[in-house]
Amino acid sequence: MRALGLLAAAFVVIASVRSVPPPGFHGTSLVVTATLVAFCAATFGAMQLDVTRAAAQFVILLVAVLSAAALIDVQANHAAFIGVFPALTIGALALPVRLAAVVAGVALAAVSAAWLANGNTPISGIVLNDFAIVAFYLLSMLARRLRESNEKAQVLLAELEQTRAAQAHAAALAERQRLARDVHDVLAHSLSGLMLNLEGARLLARRTGADAQVGDAIDRAHRLARTGLAEARRAIGMLRGDALPGPELLDELAAGFEADSGVACTVSVTGRERDLGGNGRLTIYRVAQEALTNVHKHASADRVEIRLDYAGSGARLVVEDFGQRGDIPAAGAGNADGAGGANGTGYGLTGMRERAELLGGTLTTGPTAAGYRVDLWVPL
């Protein structure tokens, strides 16, 4: 629209310079100059003005229309008639409908009066010019309606997408809640019953004077059941949308591993904590959990170190054991029994690697001179 407005204004200026009387600084020529300046300033100003300032734009468009009509009268400049059309277009596209109609009405009346005052244009020519003004205004209004319809269609499409996303989210949430109920009703109740039975067995062993090793075995089984129940409850909370576990629970993992295995386990965190997102935090927790499970099941370690280092582009987790190794599981084998040991979830090295790859990270594992190392990198 701006390009067409500039072309129309340039056409009017060139035609005015070549008309009689031409622009000048004396008499009628001075009037032509002032009218031409007003026309150009009003046309350019209307194109640059913020559309939210409707009142100011309305006044400027009236000045553009009236100055174009004045050029028709003063110079008998038929080309000045073209100068009305940018104002009609801007008014129809930018102004409220009533104000745009007023601009079109003023243009129609002013141009008709200028043709009549000039006296050189037949009535039929005036009628055709008026018809052109009305037709151009209606076409501009049609373009406005089309633009508004497209905008409404885009809004409706956005609302439709939001509705579909909300429906999908609601369906996923309902399914997760169903799974949470199933896990709670089956696994959590079973583990609770197991803990009660183990507690009874421990009391019975103490009353009957059973061997101390039997009591220790029952105590370890009781701790494992308690840990499994806590993990089941945490999984239920995750399904219901509760906060996901993350690096802040590494100390708890280490304490549970140490209590179950009797192997010293230390945790060290370096660097400024970074926001890794829910999945990144969960991956760090699960990899540390599974690495400790593998140490408990497959190694005769003297000690275990968990090191978490936050860097500018992500975080690195290293779980390393020191001592004599037993049978190390193959890289794709996972846990044979699926139980996960003390704190495990049934995911082996394959599961850990898949968690890392889903985030664009890496997981490397392998023996060291002193034991075995699991090295995880999680990018931001």
Cα–Cα dist 113/117, whole Å: 6
Burial (0-12, 13-18, 19+ Cβ within 10 Å), 151:
exposed
Cα–Cα dist 108/112, whole Å: 6
Mean pLDDT (whole number) for 272-289? 88
- pLDDT tens profile 231-258: 776 677 666 655 677 899 899 999 988 8
**pLDDT over threshold 70, residue 27:** yes
pLDDT at 264: 93
pLDDT at 241: 58
**pLDDT over threshold 60, residue 121:** yes
Q: Give the dihedral sign, CA 340/341/342/348.
A: negative
- pLDDT tens profile 301-356: 899 999 999 998 999 999 999 986 554 444 444 333 333 333 334 446 777 888 78
pLDDT at 308: 96
**pLDDT over threshold 90, residue 299:** no
pLDDT at 50: 65
Instruction: For the chain, give the percent of residues with pLDDT over 90.
Output: 27
Instruction: For the chain, give the percent of residues with pLDDT over 70.
Output: 87
320 in Cβ contact with 299 (< 8 Å): no
Does an H or E element contain 322, and which?
Answer: strand 314-325
Burial (0-12, 13-18, 19+ Cβ within 10 Å), 305:
middle
54 or 143, which is more confident? 143
Under the banding of pLDDT at 50, 70 and 90, the label for residue 189 is: low
Q: Residue 146 carries which side chain, given as an amino acid letter?
A: L
pLDDT at 203: 81
Quote the DSSP letter at residue 307: E
pLDDT at 378: 94
135 in Cβ contact with 91 (< 8 Å): no
Cis peptide before 367 (omega within 30 of 0): no
pLDDT at 309: 96
182 or 94, which is more confident? 94
Average pLDDT, the chain: 82
Q: Which range has the worst mean pLDDT, 220-234, 257-271, 338-352?
A: 338-352
Q: What is the pTM of this model?
A: 0.47
104 in Cβ contact with 133 (< 8 Å): yes
Q: Give me the residues paired with residue 265 across strands.
A: 304
Mean pLDDT (whole number) for 118-144? 87
